[in-house]
């Protein structure tokens, strides 16, 4: 049997007619940037998240970067981000001219450890960016309390967690703004690059829209030195076709995760932990294993696709050498980088495929 790490084929087969219709609609209209599809998707996604505003942008990195910019964060400011995340979280901070300050995650949840945030807060700290990594919500109550006590903004990185809930509340609604990515592999994926920022603050929403459109409030009038980052009509139309299926697709991921959690029985493997407060959406199903690379080879040889999220933590990335961190500074992130292995997880996996992955892991010694 051959099981890819991820596949879009099952959902694309299912929504084939809708996606082709979306393409036809846009192509026939012959209008590609800033139009009715973008507007309709923004309205629909704001509705899904239960917020007042959604601004479509070019990708998830820009969704975060423009949110930081709109909040006035820049040169000389510090922003707290987890040391175990995708590089985009840290780069968003760098691109506005601010400095990312890393905090080690909790080894059980893989997410930023709230008890380690306060020790890195300085007079320059402006914001905390919790990342709901692998689709697992961060422990938002203590994070919100720290932000409140120290007068810090919260910008949630929701790129991996569309539809996840913390104590029954959708992620993306806990801070001043939240960034989503619709990269094809995300839980809600476009057929190309796309992203969005959501917020309940009208001023921030308007500023993000202007910033992503060359800093322009009306045509050829520029109030900011902006970027070009807009959600194009084609991608918006595909997202509109897929959004009504997001909850169902997430449910399917939960079913796969449940089968993995119940079926995998191998003392060399540590399964993901789901805290009481969390309703995860399993963007990634990450196990831990001391002999990770051996297990990976065993799975790959048996036809099972895998991935590592992420093999190099932020503080040891070459591009961040200038920040002066060294090996040992974030032991938990380093431990995760050496032991985490991601199993196949996508809408449309069959029972037979899930059981096969389980059997291969259980047969490994």
Ligand X SMILES: *Cc1c(COP(=O)(O)O)cnc(C)c1O
Binding positions for ligand X, rule: CB under 6 A: 59-61, 85-86, 88-89, 131, 157, 159-160, 181, 183, 193, 195
CB 140, min distance to ligand X, A: 16
Closest CA to 233 of 33, 28, 21: 33
CB 62, min distance to ligand X, A: 7
* Cβ-contact 236, 58 below 8 angstroms: no
* Between 309 and 354, CB nearer to ligand X: 309
Structure tokens at 108: 């059980």
Please provide residue 197's backbone torsions phi and psi, each rounded to the nearest 5 degrees.
Answer: -110, 135
**Residue 251 CB contacts under 8 Å (≥ 6 apart), including other chains:** none
CB 67, min distance to ligand X, A: 12
The verdict on whether 186 is a catalytic residue reads yes
Catalytic-role residue among 69, 186, 207, 242: 186
* Between 174 and 183, CB nearer to ligand X: 183
CB 116, min distance to ligand X, A: 19
Partnered with residue 304 across adjacent β-strands are 3
* Between 88 and 360, CB nearer to ligand X: 88
Taken in order 329, 330, 335, 336, is the CA torsion positive or negative? Answer: negative
The order of strands in the sheet holding 165-166 is: 169-170, 165-166, 278-279
* Between 155 and 354, CB nearer to ligand X: 155
SS3 sequence, 30-44?
CCCECCHHHHHHHHH
**Which residue in the shown chain puts its C-beta closest to ligand X?**
60
**Residue 239 CB contacts under 8 Å (≥ 6 apart), including other chains:** 41, 45, 182, 188, 190, 194, 231
CB 181, min distance to ligand X, A: 3
213-221 long-range contacts (CB < 8 A, ≥24 apart) are 213/34
* Between 187 and 306, CB nearer to ligand X: 187
Please tell me whether residue 179 adopts helix, strand or coil conformation: strand
Structure tokens at 89: 């979280």
Which residues are part of the catalytic machinery? 186
């Amino acid at each position: 049997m051959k099981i890819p790490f991820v596949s879009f084929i099952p959902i694309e087969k299912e929504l084939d007619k809708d996606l082709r219709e979306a393409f036809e609609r846009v192509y026939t209209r012959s209008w590609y940037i800033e139009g009715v599809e973008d507007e309709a998707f923004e309205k629909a996604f704001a509705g899904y998240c239960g917020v007042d505003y959604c601004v479509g942008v070019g990708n998830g990195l820009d969704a975060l970067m423009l949110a930081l910019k709109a909040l006035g964060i820049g040169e000389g400011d510090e922003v707290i981000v987890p040391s175990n995340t995708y590089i985009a979280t840290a780069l968003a901070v760098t691109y506005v001219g601010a400095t990312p300050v890393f905090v080690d995650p909790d080894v059980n949840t893989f997410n930023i450890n709230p008890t380690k945030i306060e020790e890195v807060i300085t007079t320059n700290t402006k914001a905390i960016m919790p990342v709901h990594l692998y689709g697992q919500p961060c422990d938002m109550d203590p994070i919100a309390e720290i932000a409140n006590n120290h007068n810090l903004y919260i910008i949630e990185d929701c790129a991996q967690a569309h539809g996840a809930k913390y104590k029954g509340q959708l992620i993306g609604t806990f801070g001043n703004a939240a960034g989503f990515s619709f990269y094809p592999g995300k839980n809600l994926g476009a057929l190309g690059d796309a992203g969005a920022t959501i917020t309940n603050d009208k001023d921030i929403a308007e500023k993000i829209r202007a910033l992503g459109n060359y800093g322009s409030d009306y045509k050829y009038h520029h109030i900011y030195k902006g970027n070009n980052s807009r959600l194009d009509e084609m991608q918006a139309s595909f997202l509109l076709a897929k959004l009504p299926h997001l909850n169902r697709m997430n449910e399917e991921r939960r079913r796969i995760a449940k089968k993995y959690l119940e079926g995998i029985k191998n003392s060399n493997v540590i399964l993901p932990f789901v805290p009481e407060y969390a309703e995860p959406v399993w963007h990634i199903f990450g196990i831990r294993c001391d002999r990770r690379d051996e297990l990976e080879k065993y799975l790959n040889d048996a036809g099972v696709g895998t991935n590592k999220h992420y093999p190099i933590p932020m503080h040891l990335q070459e591009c961040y050498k200038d920040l002066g961190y060294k090996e040992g500074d974030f032991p938990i992130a380093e431990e995760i980088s050496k032991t985490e292995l991601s199993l196949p997880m996508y809408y449309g996996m069959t029972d037979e495929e899930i059981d096969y992955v389980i059997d291969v892991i259980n047969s490994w010694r």
